[in-house]
Structure 1
Amino acid sequence: MQYREEHQIEFSECDENQHLKLPSMVDLLMQVSEHQLDKGGAGTDDLMAQGKGWVVTQYHFDIKRLPKTLEKVTLTTEASGYNKFFEYRDFGIEDEKGNQLVKVTSQWVLFDLKKRKMVPSDPELMKQFNVPLLAKMPRFPRLRAQKTYDKKRQYRVRYDDLDTNHHLTNSHYFNWFIDMLGRDFLKNHMVENIDIKFDREVQYGEMPYSCLTLTNDNNEIVSYHAIEDEEGNEKTVCKLKWRKI
């Protein structure tokens, strides 16, 4: 069942071009799913009481355009299916006329907060939300880390970067990715597609590296990103496809 909420895009959620920032967009989508889960007794507080949490492992975004400051939009979300270990959730952003601006598919797991590991899906919980059991696993674009990256910058995970699962919140990764690209590029380009895969947690006090390689082959502008720990081990990989504004 699809859940919908209206929202007005605020100045604080936008960049200097008055486009919705990527971290703000992710936060809004997480907010609308949290509201749906809360109503069904499967929100953050409900799961924390069981020692569990929702953790995203992969996203795919298709972006027709990013909404602008003071634009009124509708945020949508729907649990689209599950299997033994994974849950799948779709998101969307629509304009006032019902045109889809952003479409997102995502893969999630239930996470044991004490043991720090995934646990099997809960069939009773899935029935509660009328989520279908899937015979086949949905496919996401395959992401692999680059052998080398052109730029690296070190960051520190602060207390305010954490979510209720006690690790780096997924929207904050985009702050580190975007920061690597620079103002001149960002003022003149708009993201079209995003693929991101979270392999390992990033926790408080760690000092990981944000890695970037930017390519422009046959007028296809793509930035390849990764988050690596101090030993060079990959924790997250991401691919952004851009177009000129």
Structure 2
Amino acid sequence: MNTIKANEMTKFTEKHIIEFSDCDENQHLKLSSMVDLMMQVSEHQLSQKNAGSEDLLKQGIGWVVTQYHFEINNLPKPGDEVILSTEASGYNRFFEYRDFGISTADGEILVSVQSRWVMFDLKKRSLIPCDEELMQRFNVPLLKKQPFFARLRPQKEYSRKRRYRVRYDDLDTNHHLTNSHYFNWFIDMLDRDFLREHLVKTIDIKFDKEIAYGEEPFSCVVIKKEDAEIKTFHAIENSDGVEETVSEITWRQI
């Protein structure tokens, strides 16, 4: 059942049962499925006040994420009942900040996510200022300072690259590669034995440019051990070798 808590900062929550199709062979929630659930709960909140994807498409605009930060304490398994949550935590002239969470029915926090978004004119393919009336409708505070996000930069070299093609089923309603699909390309670059022995601890990802239908970008990765932690550094490069998305993922052993 969907609920909106009666406070100034509207936090939206809903229950969800994790399905087998949401999980990998270790029966852990897949990163791409996690992002899809985040978009689902956000869409359900926005639709309650006529601000969902369909409502925005009629105005020729959409939301585009520019950066995520994930903190992952544990991942749910098939059959687990979880609480999905989201709230718009603030905005300024061009950015909206939105938080997400996944927790157990007992309140244990499994995943917490911070994100930064822009509004996008779908016809002109350009950024537009935040809609102040929309922000007020959801009681979103105007921020004096921008929240901190990691400064991500491409690596000088990557140990492995693989070309992918953006298919029709990979597109979202903004007509570009859906952001959950990037995680499939990242994970696919890692060896099966590594993935069976490690779980994601943190993720930082920054999207610099949208990827359109029919493009054939490269997914790139290099694995490094830093201060007893294993990190994988990822990038999506276009055919000219220019990085359009960069990411850093920290792992822990299972």
TM-score by length of 1: 0.99
In the TM superposition, residue 182 of structure 1 has moved relative to its aligned partner by 1.8
Shift of 1:87: 0.3
- Is structure 2 residue 66 aligned with structure 1 residue 54? no
Residue of 140, 143, 148 corresponding to 1:139: 148
Instruction: Say whether 1:236 aligns with 2:233.
Output: no
- Asked if 1:171 is matched to 2:171, the reply is no
Q: What's 1:93 paired with?
A: 102
1:45 pairs with one of 54, 62, 66: 54
C-alpha separation in 2, matches of 1:56 and 1:73: 24
Provide the rounded CA distance (Å) in 2 between the counterparts of 1:223 and 1:47. 36
CA distance in 1, matches of 2:136, 2:227: 48
Structure 2 residue matching 1:135: 3-state secondary structure: coil
2:72 counterpart of 1:26: no
Letter in 2 for 1:30: M
Shift in Å at residue 218 of structure 1? 3.3
Q: Which consecutive residues of structure 2, in runs of 5 or more, have no partner in the other structure? A: 1-9
Matches within 5 A, 1:68-107: 68-107=77-116
Alignment-derived partner of residue 206 in structure 2: 197
For the aligned residue pairs, the C-alpha RMSD in angstroms reads 0.6
Distance 1:122 1:138 in 2: 19
Match of 1:210 among 219, 240, 245: 219
Q: For 1:148 and 1:213, how far apart are their aligned partners in 2? A: 8
Per-residue deviation, residues 202-234 of structure 1 (Å, max 9, x unmatched): 000000000000012332100000000000011
TM-score by length of 2: 0.96
Amino acid at match of 1:161: D
1:180 match: secondary structure: coil
Report how many residues are paired. 245
Q: Identity over the aligned pairs, expressed in percent?
A: 65
Question: What stretches of structure 1 of length at least 5 have no aligned partner?
Answer: none
Post-superposition offset of 1:186: 0.3
> 2:142 is aligned with what amino acid?
L
List structure 1 segments (4+ residues) > 4 angstroms apart after TM superposition. none
CA–CA distance in 1 between the matches of 2:121 and 2:38? 23
Structure 2 Cα separation of the partners of residues 96 and 75 of structure 1: 10
The whole-number CA distance in structure 2 between the counterparts of 1:54 and 1:169 is 12
